[in-house]
Amino acid sequence: MNREENPRLEGLKLAAISLGCAKNRIDTEEILGYLSSRGFILTEDYKSADLIVVNTCSFIEDAQQESVNTMLELVEETDPLSEKRPKIVAAGCLVELFGDEITRKMPFVDGAIGVHSYACLDDFVAQLFKGKKPVIKKEAPLDYSSLGPRVLTTPVHSANLKIAEGCNNRCNYCLIPTIRGPYRSRAPREIVNEAAELADRGAREINIIAQDITAYGHEQGGQLDLCALLEKILAARSGFRLRLMYTYPSRITDDLIKLVAREPRICNYLDVPIQHCNDRILEKMGRQYRKKDLEVLLSKLRRDIPGLALRTTIMIGYAGETRAEFGELLQFIEQHPFESLGAFIYSAHDPASRDNVDRQVPGRISQRRYRQLMLKQQGIARMVNERRIGEMIRVLVDGNFPGSKDWYYGKSEYQAPEVDGLTFIRSKEPLKPGTMVKAKVRAVSAYSYYAKKMGVIAH
């Protein structure tokens, strides 16, 4: 960059807000790492910032609206009439969908940069501070690699590690392939090196994420293999456990099941988003399995991995979903209970699903079904959790429970960060965040365990 032509950026303050999923959070962390290496000073005080990056989410209509509302709130909070108002930038998924519409329809947004354009951050920021309104939106690259070292926004003891970008599943309700592009597996060496770096920084738990981790290497004809990758990560360093998130039901292999069953450093936990169980709905969704396949898989997982905790995601009110099909779904989760279940209501108000607008289940019915499902799951989760009473579990401590001297909270291997419940641990000795302890479960609720500390697990 020519210093005479470009503004001086060193010492400017940068704040960021990350919306949506853990994959988006990693993008935010890489942006923070990259711009701080260019001289920006990171701050959590939005009012004192010179630049605020809002990494947006667009998975469903509600997420798109949250992204817009967040930027509107920032304008109000940072005094839009002030000459020193920070520059507000939209980044990520919303930009991929709407491009320069964002800056045209929201004049208070000073620039927009898409998910495939972060390598252009130098040019983007230079234009921004010259008073221009840059919008950079490029095509997805042929491969996927990290932008560089991240600034962790999660506790250092529990970090995410993204092994791929994009998706090839092409589910009929999903915008991810449109936004993120085709599936690209990250090079094993880069993944292993980052895992080792995270461990060296203090990670006791590393969450393996991608849009679909079980598709790792498939686009390269099997040259890369998820099980081999996981074994390389574990071999690089000791002292941490792995958690596997976002596994596609029809790609969970016997080899993966055997690896989870035999490897104590992989959490007895799998995130398996099924979305639905009715064959007609699954076909309309474009999912690559049917109800019988799910029944066989879930039974096999329970049989071959003793003590396994399962999490899933359900979509409510998909276009044309009947009362009977929803009833079938309720019955299915009773017969095949999940320890954790997240749900969201289908939205036809996006470019991926215009053909289904006329068949949209009325909002009041979808809301009622959502409440029914979550109430049903509450009872199921309590029943499943009660089986853990008396069990010795491994818990990663997050902190001290506010207002208490001897109660701490954290995550057992059966609970993923941010999406699942907590384990509350009673300990007479102080416990620092990042400590791994053995604890005995004494009581449970629908979402949490209450346990007594029995010992500390060394690195």
CATH 3.40.50.300 fits 158-386, yes or no: no
Average the pLDDT over each of 76-80, 134-138, 317-321, 450-454 and give the range with the smallest value: 76-80
Residue 160 pLDDT greater than 70, yes or no:
yes
Q: What is the pLDDT of residues 411-439, one digit of tens each?
A: 999 999 999 999 999 999 999 999 999 99
CATH fold label, 13-136: Rossmann fold (3.40.50)
Residue 4 pLDDT greater than 50, yes or no:
no
**Average pLDDT for residues 85-100, to the nearest whole number?**
94
Per-residue confidence (pLDDT) for residue 1, from 0 to 100: 43
Neighbouring-strand partners of residue 424:
409, 450
Report how far Cα 214 is from the mean position of its chain's Cα atoms: 15
Are the beta carbons of 311 and 283 closer than 8 angstroms? no
- What CA dihedral angle connects 277, 281, 283 and 288, to 10 degrees? -30
Residue 166 pLDDT greater than 70, yes or no:
yes
Q: What tokens does 109 get? A: 């947004």
Cα–Cα dist 348/86, whole Å: 35
Q: What are φ and ψ of residue 134, in 5° steps? A: -70, 140
**Average pLDDT for residues 312-317, to the nearest whole number?**
96
Q: What tokens does 304 get? A: 């071959």
Residues 6+ apart with CB under 8 A from 202: 156, 157, 434
Residue 2 pLDDT greater than 90, yes or no:
no
Are the beta carbons of 243 and 265 closer than 8 angstroms? no
Average the pLDDT over each of 78-87, 291-300, 335-344 and give the range with the smallest value: 78-87
Q: What is the pLDDT of residues 231-265, one digit of tens each?
A: 999 999 999 999 999 999 999 999 999 999 999 99
Alpha helical stretches, state H, 78-120: 93-98, 101-105
Superfamily of 392-457 according to CATH: Nucleic acid-binding proteins (2.40.50.140)
Per-residue confidence (pLDDT) for residue 84, from 0 to 100: 78
- SS3 of residue 305 by DSSP: coil
Residue 354 pLDDT greater than 90, yes or no:
no
End-to-end CA distance of the chain: 45
Q: Where does the pLDDT of residue 80 fall: very low under 50, low under 70, confident under 90, or very high at 90 and above?
A: low
Residues 6+ apart with CB under 8 A from 379: 446
- SS3 of residue 351 by DSSP: coil
Report the percentage of the chain scoring pLDDT > 90.
Answer: 85
- What CA dihedral angle connects 215, 220, 221 and 225, to 10 degrees? -50
pTM of structure: 0.92
Per-residue confidence (pLDDT) for residue 223, from 0 to 100: 84
Q: What are φ and ψ of residue 381, in 5° steps? A: -65, -40
226: number of Cβ within 10 Å = 26
Q: Where are the domains of the chain?
A: 13-136, 158-386, 392-457
**Average pLDDT for residues 164-179, to the nearest whole number?**
92
Return the axis-axis angle of helices 22-37 and 121-128, rounded to nearest 10°.
Answer: 70
Q: What is the pLDDT of residues 23-42, one digit of tens each?
A: 999 999 999 999 999 999 99
Is the model more confident about 59 or about 198?
A: 198
